[in-house]
Amino acid sequence: MTATAEASTGATKLDTAALLDAYRAQVTPAAKAFVEDRMSANELRSRWLPYFQGPFTEYELGVQAAWRDAYGPDHGVEPGPPHADPAYAEQLEHFPVTISHNNLERLVDVLAVELGDRMASATVTPERVIDFAYVIDALDRFMASLVLTS
């Protein structure tokens, strides 16, 4: 579970370590297989979706709840970037995780639309595959840094 309610405080605790474990178990092997031409873009998408719609969505909802807990229930999640206030530092450090995942979701969609049942080497825009590999690695490192600081 990646987000849990703390009974004593009513606050939401975000478990980046659990999200990172799920990412490494589900996403990383599929991404590696795709980049190494051992899996089609559609297969990548089918492996990505259970993670994105499961552990990640739970985490993202936890980030939203933590923001509401800190910002106040009457405010909700405001459109636009969150306020850079030190009082919200803990909640703000999780926004890049959710933004990166949502951008990665879009890239996986684009690859699946472009390639379908073909492999990464069939792309006419190899920089997309390079971007994909870079984002997979950078997101892992970023989540690991949050685990180390928590």
All structural domains of the chain with their residue ranges: 3-149
pLDDT for the residue numbered 30: 98
Here the tokens at position 140 are 């892992």
pLDDT above 80 for 71: no
Query: In angstroms, what CA-CA distances link 31 with 73, 78, 137, 141?
Result: 38, 33, 10, 15
Distance CA 74, CA 76 (A): 6
pLDDT for the residue numbered 70: 74
94-149 pLDDT, tens per residue? 889 999 999 999 999 999 999 999 999 999 999 999 999 999 999 999 999 998 87
- 131 Cβ neighbours under 8 A, 6+ residues apart: 107
Q: Please, which pLDDT band fits residue 89 given cuts at 50, 70 and 90?
A: confident
Query: In angstroms, what CA-CA distances link 54 with 39, 59, 68, 72?
Result: 22, 9, 21, 27
pLDDT above 70 for 19: yes
44-65 pLDDT, tens per residue? 999 999 999 999 999 999 988 8
CA 144 to chain centre: 12
Answer yes or no: pTM beyond 0.85.
no
